[in-house]
């Protein structure tokens, strides 16, 4: 329950400390998993002090245990060992500190560690963190290679030397971290995130030499594995030797059997690439020569044809054909003109035979009144009217002196 207090009626420190102690005491005894660090045996006391650290986070608790309890498993209690502690949280009122009072300590054996790793492997596999389709392809020639490894370690030397031997101009950004022990996971995750946030880093290599199962435990830690899975930058795992298989190998985008192999994976071999370029140039040259030879053969075949070997022959033939066509056209035109002239003459003869002039030539005449109308009957005029008479040769003007009735 909350303590009632105010600025006018504050609560003494002892009361608050006792209340905190009561609240902590209600937690009861719990089993805790962690790593041992800072083991201290003070002379003249039957207590042993150590720190129980979380293997994946920078969180720790101080623990006190009976010397007899610690001595019973003293051979297995070393710095960095994984243990399960049955302890009761206690709040020391006099100093205002929190600690655990260990009632039982059980070192975690290799079998149990492997069983935990197997359970974690099944969990991550069910979530798809090992799926091949989520793995990213390594860049052909990275701008900068990020390297997470131990300080002055053989793994760092192997990666750098082999990479520079293959591609001397390669750039590295090295982050030195603890690669075993209680601080390894936190430092590796921190270095990984730093390189992930660097825009110039195109691929990240996590490298460590060989070691025991306990030494390689940080690289099967769930926190580190999820941090690698969340990276957008491709990650290469180069942990231990060929038989070693931490879970990082399954989560990473590429597994290298050794740090030496990692140096060969991240950059191409300049000698091999130069040889490949030379092969491509030779292949391109051969293709070009073959193309030129094929085109030259085609030109030679075209030039060997009669039409191109002696083009004047075809011109002469065409000239003769043109001359023949012109002569034929002229003959056809002359024949058409002759037929047209004959037709005109026939038409002219027919027109002449039908013309009034021809009738006049035979002695006939055409009589018209003064308005130019042709008179066909004597009744069409009257005495005293002027008439015009058209003959074959010339015209006459006359006057009617007698009516038609008198003439009859």
| DSSP class per residue in 229-282 | HT-SS-EEEEES-TT---THHHHSSEE-SSHHHHHHHHS--HHHHHHHHHHHHH
pLDDT value for 300: 85
d(CA 241, CA 259): 8
Kindly state the tokens that stand for 266.
Answer: 């991240």
Do 48 and 21 lie in a common domain? yes
pTM score:
0.53
Has residue 331 got a pLDDT over 90?
A: yes
Where do the DSSP E strands lie in 132-200? 144-149, 172-176
Question: Parallel, antiparallel, or unpaired for β 386-390 and 366-369?
Answer: antiparallel
pLDDT (average), residues 130-148: 91
Taking CA atoms, 381 is separated from 108, 206, 365, 408, in Å, by: 159, 141, 17, 15
Do 235 and 330 lie in a common domain? no
Q: Place 407 in a pLDDT band, splitting at 50, 70 and 90.
A: low
Q: Place 406 in a pLDDT band, splitting at 50, 70 and 90.
A: low
Cβ proximity of 205 and 147 under 8 Å: yes
Closest alpha carbon to 172 in 150, 188, 156: 156
Buried b (16+ CB within 10 A) or exposed e, 278-309: eeeeeeeeeeeeeeeeeeeeeeeeeeeeeeee
Q: How does pLDDT run across 197-206, given as a tens digit for each residue?
A: 999 999 999 9
In the chain, the percentage of residues whose pLDDT exceeds 70 is 94
pLDDT value for 287: 95
Q: How does pLDDT run across 47-93, given as a tens digit for each residue?
A: 888 888 877 666 888 888 888 777 777 666 777 777 888 888 888 87
d(CA 408, CA 406): 5
Does 137 map to a domain? no
Do 366 and 396 lie in a common domain? yes
pLDDT (average), residues 345-365: 81
Does 384 map to a domain? yes
Do 235 and 300 lie in a common domain? no
How many residues are recorded in the chain?
A: 408
Q: Place 253 in a pLDDT band, splitting at 50, 70 and 90.
A: very high
Q: Place 178 in a pLDDT band, splitting at 50, 70 and 90.
A: confident
Q: Place 303 in a pLDDT band, splitting at 50, 70 and 90.
A: confident
pLDDT (average), residues 382-404: 83
Residue-range definition of the domain harbouring residue 291:
272-304
pLDDT (average), residues 315-341: 92
Instruction: Calculate the dihedral angle through the C-alpha atoms of 244, 250, 252, 257, rounding to the nearest 10 degrees.
Output: 30
Do 227 and 172 lie in a common domain? yes
Q: Place 341 in a pLDDT band, splitting at 50, 70 and 90.
A: very high
Q: How does pLDDT run across 305-318, given as a tens digit for each residue?
A: 777 777 788 788 88
Does 8 map to a domain? no
Q: In what order do the strands lie in the sheet with 386-390?
A: 366-369, 386-390, 395-399
Do 297 and 318 lie in a common domain? no
Instruction: Calculate the dihedral angle through the C-alpha atoms of 30, 31, 33, 34, rounding to the nearest 10 degrees.
Output: 60
The CATH number that applies at residue 75 is 2.40.50.140
Burial (CB count <10 Å: 0-12, 13-18, 19+), residue 4: exposed
19-28, 29-38, 106-115: segment of lowest average pLDDT: 106-115
Total domains in the fold of the chain: 5
Do 86 and 173 lie in a common domain? no
pLDDT (average), residues 160-182: 89
Taking CA atoms, 203 is separated from 148, 161, 247, 261, 384, in Å, by: 11, 17, 19, 15, 137
Other beta carbons within 10 angstroms of residue 367's beta carbon come to: 17
Has residue 326 got a pLDDT over 90?
A: yes
Has residue 118 got a pLDDT over 90?
A: no
* Phi and psi, residue 311, nearest 5°: -65, -25
Other beta carbons within 10 angstroms of residue 95's beta carbon come to: 9
Residue finishing a domain among 214, 240, 268 = 268
d(CA 141, CA 345): 100
Q: Place 145 in a pLDDT band, splitting at 50, 70 and 90.
A: very high
pLDDT value for 273: 87
Do 47 and 70 lie in a common domain? yes
d(CA 34, CA 58): 12
The CATH number that applies at residue 218 is 3.40.50.10550
Does 5 map to a domain? no
Q: How does pLDDT run across 207-249, given as a tens digit for each residue?
A: 998 777 777 888 888 889 999 999 999 999 998 776 767 889 8
In the chain, the percentage of residues whose pLDDT exceeds 90 is 28
Do 162 and 253 lie in a common domain? yes
pLDDT value for 203: 94
Do 245 and 313 lie in a common domain? no
Does 119 map to a domain? no
Does 116 map to a domain? no
Residue finishing a domain among 108, 123, 153 = 108
Query: In the chain, what are the helix, strand and coil shares in percent, each to the nearest 5?
Result: 45, 20, 30
Do 149 and 95 lie in a common domain? no
Does 125 map to a domain? no
Does 115 map to a domain? no
Do 313 and 298 lie in a common domain? no
Please give the mean pLDDT across all residues of the chain: 84
């Amino acid at each position: 329950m909350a303590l009632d207090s105010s600025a006018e009626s504050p609560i003494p420190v002892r009361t608050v400390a006792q209340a905190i102690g009561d609240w902590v005491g209600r937690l009861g005894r719990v089993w805790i998993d962690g790593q041992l660090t800072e083991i201290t045996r003070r002379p003249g006391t039957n207590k042993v002090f150590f720190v129980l650290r979380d293997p994946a986070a920078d969180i720790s608790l101080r623990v006190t245990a009976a010397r007899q309890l610690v001595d019973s498993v003293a051979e297995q209690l070393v710095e960095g060992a994984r243990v399960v502690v049955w302890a009761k949280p206690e709040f020391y009122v006099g100093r205002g500190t929190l600690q655990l009072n260990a009632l039982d300590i059980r070192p975690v054996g290799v079998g149990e560690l492997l069983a935990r790793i197997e359970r974690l492997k099944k969990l991550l596999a069910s979530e798809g963190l090992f799926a091949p389709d989520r793995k990213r392809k390594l860049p052909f020639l990275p701008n900068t290679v990020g390297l997470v490894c131990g300080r002055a370690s053989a793994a760092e030397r192997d990666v750098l030397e082999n990479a520079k031997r293959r591609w001397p101009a390669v750039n590295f950004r090295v982050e030195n971290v603890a690669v075993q022990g209680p601080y390894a996971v936190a430092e590796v995750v921190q270095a990984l995130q730093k390189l992930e946030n660097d825009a110039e880093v195109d691929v990240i290599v996590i490298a460590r030499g060989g070691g025991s199962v306990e030494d390689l435990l940080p690289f099967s830690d769930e926190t580190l594995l999820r941090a690698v899975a969340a990276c957008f930058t491709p990650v290469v795992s180069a942990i231990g030797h060929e038989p070693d298989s931490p879970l990082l190998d399954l989560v990473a985008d590429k597994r290298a059997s050794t740090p030496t192999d990692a140096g060969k994976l991240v950059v191409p071999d300049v000698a091999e690439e130069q040889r490949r370029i030379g092969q491509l140039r030779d292949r391109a040259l051969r293709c070009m020569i073959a193309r030129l030879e094929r085109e030259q053969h085609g030109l030679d075949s075209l030039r060997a044809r009669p039409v191109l070997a002696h083009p004047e022959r075809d011109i002469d033939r065409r000239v003769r054909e043109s001359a023949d066509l012109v002569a034929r056209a002229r003959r056809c035109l002359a024949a058409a003109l002759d037929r047209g002239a004959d037709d005109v003459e026939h038409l002219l003869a027919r027109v002449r035979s039908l013309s009034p002039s021809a009738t006049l030539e035979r002695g006939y005449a055409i009589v018209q009144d003064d308005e130019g109308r042709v008179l066909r009957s004597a009744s069409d005029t009257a005495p005293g009217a002027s008439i015009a008479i058209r003959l074959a040769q010339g015209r006459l003007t006359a006057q009617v002196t007698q009516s038609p009735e008198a003439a009859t």
